[in-house]
A = this chain, B = another copy of it.
Amino acid sequence: MSTTNRQIILARRPRGWVEPDDFGTREGPVPDPGAGDVLVRAIYMSLDPYMRGRMDDAKSYATPFQLGAPLKARVVGEVARSRNPAFADGDLVFGMLDWADYTLVPGGGGLRAIPPGDLPLAYHLGALGMPGMTAWIGMEIGQPKPGDTVFVSAASGAVGQIAGQIGKLKGCRVAGSAGSDAKAAFVTDDLGFDAAFNYKTAGDLLAALQARCPDGIDVYFDNVGGAMLEAALDHANPFARFVECGMISQYNLSRDETPGIRNLTHINRKRITMQGFIVSDHADRMDAFMAEMTGWLESGAVKYRIDTAEGLEAAPLAFIEMLKGGNFGKQVVRIGPEP
């Protein structure tokens, strides 16, 4: 076991787009667990768009990251040293840990054991983790019925991949948008979406939706907000459900910089329901989600693509790139080797 622990800290709060200098690195000794504590060695770390919000000092559903302290993320790791009877050295676990090689978890609080299985370990940050459950809960909210058209933005992303595949499993026509031709091809050719397009080269977004969703949109699984939301409102069917999962196009814009959504009158005319949700409000559904998603993954009914950055030191740039759509699939960082 290494005797040095590297941590990535929040050096300053970003203004607008995140920059490399917003991060800092701190090195210190690997901490020694006290009675009841668990020391975890990181293997894979999850990078997620919602973290952008935690870098601000603004009241939100998640508390802000502390300046000068390590950033936090969901991490899959191995128990390096346990002084807690609930965990043994070598156990595979996940929890909200530091951006670091090692995290000391007081009392083992929040750590969960990873059940044995053949699925890739990093799936516990993606399809079987928070993004997968977000898609699963969101598609419950969207109530897709067989024959409905489901449109998913950021379709090749951590959440979008799953949301669209659930739509197919529910008997819907599914279309997606993504940020490159390769991503659009991936969701149709590999994931089984019926249609997809590259929003960066599509030009008129409404025309792009009309071509891919000839019967309108019944469920919009929104990961991006902004101009795509406006186009989806234009193309929505009466009684459409807009599942408001995220608005990544807005996260780095101040209010004065955003063009705003100008066609919300459709909400009334078309009797649209827009519902925001946060997966952590639905923790009571975790076991049902894990059971169903594990089955889908093991049977091959659902596929999942992961984009792996190599090494803790790569995390800041990988995060910055992900906010710009530079990832292809669920973004994780490999911090240390699998056991």
Contact = CB atoms under 8 A, between A and B. Distances in A.
A250 interface: yes
Copies of this chain present in the complex amount to 2
Contact of A60 (B61, B259, B262, B269): B269
B273 A275 contact: yes
Contacts of A4: none
B281 A276 contact: no
A25 interface: no
30 contacts: A60-B269, A61-B269, A61-B270, A225-B264, A244-B264, A244-B268, A245-B268, A246-B268, A247-B265, A247-B268, A250-B264, A251-B265, A255-B262, A256-B262, A259-B262, A260-B262, A261-B261, A267-B274, A268-B276, A268-B277, A268-B278, A269-B276, A269-B278, A271-B276, A271-B278, A271-B281, A272-B274, A272-B276, A273-B273, A274-B274
* In the A-B complex, the 8 residue pairs with the closest CB atoms: A260-B260, A267-B276, A268-B276, A260-B262, A274-B274, A273-B275, A258-B262, A244-B267
A263 interface: yes
A40 B255 CA distance: 54
Interface in A274-290: 274-278, 281
Nearest to A266: B276
Nearest to A141: B273
Contacts of A256: 262
A229 interface: yes
Nearest to A254: B262
A238 interface: yes
Contacts of A276: 266-273
Q: Which residue, A61, A256, A267, has most C-beta atoms of chain B within 10 A?
A: A267
